[in-house]
Chains A and B, each alone.
Chain A
Amino acid sequence: MLGRMEGKYDVVVVGGGPAGMGAAIGARDSGAERVLILDRSLEAGGILMQCIHSGFGLHYFKEELSGPEYAERFLEKVIDHDVDVFTDSYVSGIAIDSDGTKGVHVMNKEKGLFTVETRSVALAMGCRERTRGAIRIPGTRPSGILTAGLAQKLVNMRGYLPGKRIAILGSGDIGLIMARRLVLEGCEVVGVFEIMPYSNGLTRNVVQCLDDFGIPLHLSTSVAFIHGRDRLEKITVAPVDQDFRPDMSRASDIECDTLLLSIGLIPENELSQRLGIRLSVVTGGPWVSSTMETSMPGLFACGNVLHVHDLVDFVTRESLLAGQFAGEWAQGVRRPKDNIGLSPGDNLRYCLPHSLSPEREHTIYMRCKEAMKPCRIRVGNLMEKKLRFVVPAEMIMLKIKPDLLEKFHGETLRIDILPAEEGKDDI
């Protein structure tokens, strides 16, 4: 045990973002008495607080909200559900006793270092942005190079502009949205550079954030060199070949004082790693069963810590479920182990959860490798369904009924995305 023992809980949720709040509400709804949310920032709400653009809640609240509005509605629910929330509190580790009791080590200003005892834990730490080191851009190391999400926090919450003439590398949604934000705040955005031949963000963001403001999007182009001693002075951009190697003969220099990176997100799993939880190589998040339980009994995971979602509404749905099972686990409910494994086949990067049970209905989340339209999805020999399109930027969701799973007697169910068959009607 580390520090003083501070209270006993049924469920402790690590992270107070949309996933953490969803899990806490789910846990209380399942009947767990004492639920605690731990969050390292000054207020709960997570990344939503800096996402001031609208487009949240269309599925869950059936109306278009901004990030802070979505968070505030959930925060009210959390308070109505009698959930304890400790903000400005950092979880430094989790210890697991032989009887399954867990001790969550926490640090905060008020209480110092202390341990919270709990029956089950829900991991909802979210994800982190990839930085310059992840893509190894050659050049000097001046100031003025930061991730798009950090710039978003500085502009939208702290009231700082990161610079005046801005280039953006990567066309992820945050990068596109920041391009528009910075123009509205009076900056000049010189262009968005994307190494892939297509944009990584949603079409509506390309149209409304770039086209509307006349910001050029350069596809198959990357930043090949960074110049500047103290502050970023200019970047060298070059078109890339099929192997993503820059063609320096066609390179050009662009003057700018700031480079924003929007080059992808990775689930934040330091805590999980230290616990020795089984992690998926593809998603970077924990391996989870259909109850959202990780390979460690009584430890659940949900939200972006598991895999990066495109819509917060899906995070909420997933985390309410995870919270429900975490709450049940705390009350001594032990469900039978899943007996059907799930594996991604053709044109699928991953599918979640990693196993299923014929006991309940399941929602499977999938991400494809490349765009295809029209196409069909095949679940083992159980079902086939036509899809109008698949794109890597949009998660594919599929509901599977329990009676269908009962017909399956193998060990692993394989899901494929295949081109549509000509002249064949719906099955």
Chain B
Amino acid sequence: MISETEHYTCIACPIGCPLRLEHEGNEIKEISGHSCNRGAKYAHQEFTDPRRALSTTVTISGSLWERLPVKTTGPILKNHVMEAAREIHRLRIDAPVQVGQVLIEDFMDEKGINVVACRSMPRITLISPGHRKHPSKKRQRVSNRQYNNRKTMHKTHDQ
């Protein structure tokens, strides 16, 4: 089999060593370029099972803010990140929420990885006038030109 080379930049510390990983198929032949063990470990992990932690926000109603920060309790597969974000964005949460509250269990069919709330959001019953944003107008489709001329910001997930 022909040996191939993968290039990574180490993220274990701010030096950022350029790592080279030579492999034949799925078999690792040599890791070079690292200046400590953590670099070798990182290259190994990136080649065999690259994973990333995911943090994003979801819509919440009845609270001080309009978005609730959430995260996965463990790193998920790197090439699932975009899909996972879309999946999480489908959630609609109603306040109150407690920090650490599980919103999705065994996320993306991975046992033990949950999506949890990153903060508590109490339910707001009395809102003083200054806190309230403008009552939202009925959403309507806008042409590209109107969009360009619109002075206001756009709400996420315009759909």
Contacts and interface: CB of A to CB of B under 8 A. Distances in A.
A202 B16 CA distance: 9
A53 B55 contact: yes
Contacts of B67: 155-159
B143 interface: no
Contacts of A185: 56, 85, 89, 156
Nearest to B151: A143
Contacts of A64: 53
B100 to A, nearest CB: 8
B37 interface: no
A52 B153 contact: no
Interface centre among B15, B65, B153 (most CB of A within 10 A): B153
Interface in A169-202: 181, 183-186, 202
A156 B56 CA distance: 8
A54 B156 contact: no
A207 B11 contact: yes
Given A69-B119, A156-B57, A185-B156, A230 B149 contact: yes
A109 interface: yes
Interface residues of B, number: 39
Interface string A136-165: 000000010000000000111111111110
A72 B120 contact: yes
Interface in A43-59: 43, 49, 52-54
Contacts of A68: 69, 99, 118-119
B14 interface: yes
A52 B11 contact: no
A231 B148 contact: yes
A231 B145 CA distance: 11
A42 B149 contact: no
Contacts of B131: 42
Given A54-B71, A388-B15, A72 B9 contact: no
B64 interface: yes
A66 B130 contact: no
B81 interface: yes
B104 to A, nearest CB: 16
B155 A159 contact: yes
Nearest to B12: A204
A160 B154 contact: yes
A266 interface: no
Interface in B44-85: 52-53, 55-57, 59, 64-67, 69, 71, 78, 81-82, 85
Given A69-B118, A212-B81, A394-B14, A160 B149 contact: no
A389 B10 CA distance: 15
A186 B157 contact: yes
A16 to B, nearest CB: 15
Interface in B9-50: 9-11, 13-16
A203 B14 contact: yes
A160 B148 contact: no
Given A68-B119, A388-B15, A54 B153 contact: no
Interface centre among A52, A163, A185, A204 (most CB of B within 10 A): A52
B52 A212 contact: yes
Contacts of A92: none
A82 interface: no
B140 interface: no
A160 B131 CA distance: 16
Given A49-B119, A69-B118, A212-B78, A161 B154 contact: yes
Interface in A69-84: 69, 71-72
Contact of A162 (B16, B120, B130, B153): B153
A202 B14 contact: yes
A208 B149 contact: no
20 contacts: A42-B64, A49-B119, A52-B55, A67-B69, A68-B99, A69-B119, A109-B130, A158-B65, A158-B67, A159-B66, A159-B67, A160-B153, A163-B154, A185-B89, A203-B15, A206-B9, A207-B16, A211-B9, A212-B78, A212-B81
Given A158-B66, A158-B67, A184-B82, 7 more contacts: A52-B57, A156-B69, A157-B67, A183-B82, A184-B81, A203-B10, A207-B16
